[in-house]
Structure 1
Amino acid sequence: MSHAIIVAHGQPSDPEPAEAALATFAAKVNALAENVVVHSATLAAPGALEAKLERVPENPVIYPLFMAKGWFVTSALPKRLGNHPTQILDPLGIDPELPALTAEALRTELSDKHWAAQSTDLVIAAHGSGRSRNPSTVALQFAEQLRGLVAFKSVCVGFVEEPPSISDAANGTGDQALCLPFFACTGGHVQEDVPQELDRAGFSGVLLPVVGESPPIRAQIAKKLTEAFESA
């Protein structure tokens, strides 16, 4: 049996809840993966990744549950993996199929609410960065691809750590509006910063779960893990 580890950032100030939430997420992916046992670890939980590496057989596949191929994926994660032989896959946020899969989930949401896309505003709440253009570039490219897949009335992107803010992006939207957090996991930013920014804008629409928790995305991660071993 092959083994894979889903790795996320976690919550440095309170590691355990995020570690438990990721384990639940990994269990759902595990149920969908073929001939792959799916484990999990957050970088923020001291020693969690190292302990998991010691317990799984050699050559596990590492799936970074991140929205950009930035410092955590290219530097922090390899450093933590050390000399363990592993294969690191591309992170969720740059999966070429992510926009289409998210569009599928958004169409389902619109259908459930009996909303027409042409009458619905979409706000994409993303992390951004005060140090690197990479996270915002990924989010903006994602938004541009979504525009071509679902004909929303408007698609605006706002960021936690750089302008325009999420409140700027949500300003002027009506009751028929969706806010999609462009995050891999439901952490502090999604639980606190995003709702606060939406309140600041007087947002009266619907705050959706994060991109990473969409059922089509879980299935896609399972598919990627299975394919990684089939092509090895």
Structure 2
Amino acid sequence: MTETTALIVAHGQPSDPDPAEAALTRFAARVAASAPGLTVHSATLAAPGRLEAALESLPETVPIYPLFMARGWFVTSALPRRLGPRGNPILDPLGIDPDLPALIAAHLSTELEQRGWPVAESGLVLAAHGSGRSRNPSAVARGFAENLRAHLPVARLSVGFVEEAPSITEAASGHGAMSLCLPFFACAGGHANEDVPQALEQAGYAGALLPVLGDLPPVPALIARRISEAGR
């Protein structure tokens, strides 16, 4: 059996880093359990010194999996800066994985089936972060939505953002009770736990709110596969 080690890095919660750090540790354990011979360490960027402490015991051949939805500033600038001269390879983030749309579409199809909602009569709201400074995060979310719809032809699919237009409230307005809202976030946090529900309430949204994408059941196995591929 081939032994593979990796480090999963997420943003974390700067205002209260410990709960997010603990949640990432639990998530890393789920990833490790998804493939034989896989050891997964974890660290958030927000917990002071946590990334550096994790790296101390790991060789530079260990790949880093960024638990982010886009290859944005944190993945391309903040994380490499924290690595310094180390040469650990940084894998592609979760949100741009080419297999993600089909995988999530299959899960959402099951969600709809369990509720007795026909796909062709159901709606989907994709609640994403967006950015007031870069178009990259919203482009990733919209691209994901387009690919998702190719696998899941719902009656209506809307995309809304926390930090740019259209807002999540605007996107969710008019969606009926047979609708799912999927927060397009890698980890639960303030936006997913507070901003998204508040926006849905303002919209009078009567559908179901799902966990963040990163917490959906099929995701740990996908990440384990990517890490195992990188370790070959």
TM norm. shorter chain > 0.5: yes
Identity of aligned residues (%): 63
- Secondary structure at the counterpart of residue 133 of structure 2: coil
Distance 1:50 1:4 in 2: 14
Partner of 1:174: 176
- Residue 217 of structure 1: how far off its partner (Å): 1.3
Q: CA offsets per residue over residues 125-163 of structure 1, 9 Å max, x none? A: 000000000000000001111111111010000000000
Q: Where do 1:166-205 residues align within 5 Å?
A: 166-205=168-207
Indicate yes or no: 2:85 matched with 1:86. no
CA RMSD of superposed structures (Å): 0.9
Partner of 1:148: 150
Give the TM-score of the pair, scaled to structure 2: 0.97
Question: Does the aligned pair in 2 maintain the 1:5–1:41 contact within 8 Å?
Answer: yes
Q: Where do 1:97-112 residues align within 5 Å?
A: 97-112=99-114
Indicate yes or no: 2:55 matched with 1:47. no
Partner of 2:137: 135
Q: CA offsets per residue over residues 103-140 of structure 1, 9 Å max, x none? A: 01101101111110111110000000000000000000
Flag structure 2 segments of 5+ consecutive residues without an equivalent: none
Partner of 1:25: 27
Distance 2:106 2:216 in 1: 10
- Secondary structure at the counterpart of residue 86 of structure 2: coil
- Residue 34 of structure 1: how far off its partner (Å): 3.0
- Residue 81 of structure 1: how far off its partner (Å): 1.0
Give the TM-score of the pair, scaled to structure 1: 0.97
- Residue 35 of structure 1: how far off its partner (Å): 2.2
Find 2:215's aligned residue among 193, 210, 213.
213
- Secondary structure at the counterpart of residue 5 of structure 1: strand
Structure 1: 4+ residue segments shifted above 6 A: none
Question: Does the aligned pair in 2 maintain the 1:29–1:219 contact within 8 Å?
Answer: yes
Distance 1:54 1:3 in 2: 14
Indicate yes or no: 2:16 matched with 1:14. yes
Partner of 2:37: 35
Question: Does the aligned pair in 2 maintain the 1:60–1:85 contact within 8 Å?
Answer: no
Question: Does the aligned pair in 2 maintain the 1:3–1:57 contact within 8 Å?
Answer: no
Question: Does the aligned pair in 2 maintain the 1:3–1:38 contact within 8 Å?
Answer: yes
Distance 2:88 2:38 in 1: 15
- Secondary structure at the counterpart of residue 33 of structure 2: helix
Give the partner amino acid of 1:143: A
Question: Does the aligned pair in 2 maintain the 1:61–1:86 contact within 8 Å?
Answer: yes
- Secondary structure at the counterpart of residue 231 of structure 2: helix
Partner of 1:73: 75
Distance 1:54 1:83 in 2: 13
